[in-house]
Each structure stands twice: as structure tokens, then as C-alpha cells.
Amino acid sequence: MKPGVYSIKYRIDCYHCRADADQMIRVVPQQAQVVCSSCGATRIFVPKMAEISEKGDYTPISCYDVWQLEPTAHCRNCGVEGVHDLYVGCNHFTSRCRNCGYTNFYKFNLQYIDKCSIEEDFCDPVIR
């Protein structure tokens, strides 16, 4: 995959259908998405900022439990494939490279419910 682009699954109860299902998380520089594999409920996050930061600079605050994940990906900044700290909340999404500290902070932008193939690149509600 290209630097800054990665996918990960996280199994948890869906906020919409309440089913225990994989939440498909896809990150690209232009947006991040969380898609329920059961009902298709999709949350889209758009970039707010990107910079080098210290761990904990963007402490997640959320109305629900924050998901703390550690996917392996190629960093857009340093190009090294390594562990990233990924935090997903109801209103924010943060990805930080552990190697160089490059942080992408996304804010919640759009939610829609539409069952689509999660194997496609992106389910885009605008381009259909």
C-alpha cells in the first residue's frame, strides 16, 4: 500500500445495529472511514491537521469508549513501515507514527447508513 494508506478491522458491537461485527477502518490522507460489516453504518472523518507531535498531544476525549489500536503501516512522513497509534472516538480520529511522531488528526464529518461492499476502495455517498 501507499504511505499513509492502511486498513484494519476491529471487532466490537456496532453503535447502529448493535451486532457484534467487524468495524472496517480505512485511512487515507484525505479521509478516514469506519464501516460496520453488518449493517453498513459508516462514519467519515476529514483531516483537520497534520504535524509532528509528542505522544499524548492529541488526547482523545469522546462520548463513548475510545478505540486504541496499533496497526502497522508505512508513514507518509518518514516512509518507515512501523506501528502507528490509532485512536478512534465518536468525534475524532487520530493516527500517529511511533517512529517520527507524524500525526494526522481527523474530525467527524459525516455519517450514513448504506450497505455496500467493504472490499471496495471506499463507499462514497457522493459518488454513486
State which residues of the chain have pLDDT below 70. Answer: 1, 58-62, 114-128
Q: How do residues 20-57 score in pLDDT, each as one tens digit?
A: 999 999 998 889 999 999 998 999 999 998 888 877 77
Identify the DSSP state of 66: P
* Calpha distance 17→98 (Å, rounded): 34
What DSSP letter does each residue of 3-23 carry, written as one string?
A: TT-EEEEEEEE-TTT--EEEE
| Whether the predicted model's global pTM rises above the 0.85 cut | no
What confidence score (pLDDT) does residue 50 get? 86
